[in-house]
Homo-oligomer: A and B are copies of this chain.
């Protein structure tokens, strides 16, 4: 980075400065569909349209800190939830014309959440909702692109990481875990083979002791598991065909 000093005649107050923002693609699995956390914009531009939650990075904040703060502000999710969230930097969007008002560079993050705390609007967001992926008109700014990138990234990470457990509550059944893969990838997985794969991967999941079992309604009650210590998946769990959308 950083030329040692700014270029000849450079004055950082001389031209329109950059604003730096964060955008969050918060994903969850609900009713066998991938859902996205969106907020409804209260002001122009794009007033009334859906957008990703996010906002300006403050002078003494890192991007990640700003992401957590904005998420808490705009969705009313409990502080404990937001703090414990698995946040991952996606990439940075810097097209000069991505915001009609001024030069805005935005650092996008992805978060995977389990249950479904119903959000509420707040801060600069008129409303906040979980919406099924793709069930909305075009989003504000370049947020459709960001969301598509996030989905692609998450789908890929499921293959070689244990990230899928981030979509599940603290204790979950193998059926719920499999549901995550099937929903994100849009395919059906063979139940027996999936079970074997998960259980034989060293630190992927840890069985919850005792006979506690949970019924998902009908069918045989399933054993409960917690996320294990492992973070990588060796060997990976590859999606059946090339890549889906």
| Residues of A near any B CB (own CB < 8 A) | 1-7, 10, 12-13, 15-23, 41-47, 51-52, 54-57, 59-64, 70, 89, 91-92, 94-96, 99, 102-108, 123-124, 140-141, 143, 160, 232, 234-236, 238, 242-243
Contacts and interface: CB of A to CB of B under 8 A. Distances in A.
Contact of A234 (B21, B62, B91, B242): B242
A31 to B, nearest CB: 28
A92 B104 contact: no
Given A2-B21, A2-B56, A232-B243, 10 more contacts: A1-B21, A1-B143, A2-B104, A4-B124, A20-B94, A60-B96, A62-B95, A63-B94, A92-B92, A236-B238
Interface of chain A, main secondary structure: loop
Given A59-B15, A92-B92, A95-B62, A106 B2 contact: yes
A204 B6 CA distance: 43
Contact of A54 (B2, B103, B124): B2
Nearest to A89: B91
B61 A105 contact: no
Those 3 A-B pairs whose CB atoms lie nearest each other, nearest first: A17-B17, A4-B43, A3-B124
Contacts of A232: 242-243
A56 B105 contact: no
A145 B144 CA distance: 31
A12 B104 CA distance: 11
A91 B141 CA distance: 21
26 contacts: A1-B22, A1-B52, A1-B141, A1-B143, A2-B54, A2-B99, A2-B104, A2-B140, A3-B54, A3-B123, A4-B44, A4-B46, A4-B124, A5-B43, A5-B124, A6-B56, A7-B56, A13-B17, A59-B103, A61-B96, A62-B94, A62-B95, A63-B94, A91-B92, A92-B92, A235-B238
**Copies of chain A in the complex:** 2
A222 to B, nearest CB: 30
Contacts of A5: 43-44, 124
Contacts of A4: 41-47, 124
Nearest to A52: B1
Contacts of A235: 238
Q: Which of A4, A47, A52, A105 has the most CB of B within 10 A?
A: A4
